[in-house]
Amino acid sequence: MNYLQHFCNDGFQLESGGFNLHDDLLPSLGATMNHTIKLRKHIVSPYDPRYRLWELFLIFLVLYSAWICPFEFAFLRYLPSKIFLVDNIVDSFFAIDTVLTFFVAFIDHKSYLLVDDPKRIAVRYLSTWFIFDACSTYPIQTISFSYNRHVLCLLGLRRIFGSIISGHGAQNFSQ
């Protein structure tokens, strides 16, 4: 019996305990968890299907912003009232997401456990992406009357680039 066959037949068994790595530690490919994760009251799991749907909706809003802001910058001197209204609605959804992020659990890098402590969630969010999210949700069009329109549209691009850089849809998994 060659070394490869011996390795495949014996697996990763330890001599003393009969420990098999692939049976005891790793789930089979495609396995799902049978239990639900119990979080504190008012804390949202980043794995919740409703939250995932919300993130998908936000991706569409970011795509809308990525399309409309350069269009506004290039072709519109003053915003028509319909686009102005839609932009404010989009900004309100981003504001809701900013508040919601204070209630979304995250994965701790050191322990790989889901953190559901509201204080730790708030400290983490305030020290990472909160300032960018807060600035990007400020309704730029409402203050555009006293500033140059081109400068304000470029400021509006920070929402797009902030979402791309932060991987906003995946930030709860990566941080």
Region 61-70: mean pLDDT is 87
* pLDDT score for 43: 96
Mean pLDDT of 8-21: 48
Q: What is the pLDDT of residues 83-140, one digit of tens each?
A: 878 888 998 999 999 999 999 999 999 998 999 999 999 999 999 999 888 888 876 6
Average pLDDT, rounded, for the chain = 74
Packed helices 149-166 and 130-137: angle between N→C axes, nearest 10 degrees: 140
Q: What is the C-alpha to C-alpha distance for residues 139 and 96, in angstroms, rounded to an integer? A: 13
Beta strand 114-115 with 106-107 is antiparallel
pLDDT of 3-13, one tens digit each? 445 444 544 44
At residue 85, the pLDDT reads: 85
Going by pLDDT thresholds of 50, 70 and 90, the confidence category of residue 174 is very low
CB-CB contact of 106 with 47 (8 Å): no
Sketch the domain layout of the chain as residue ranges: 49-174
Amino acid at 1: M
Q: Tell me how far the alpha carbon of residue 74 is from its chain's centroid.
A: 30
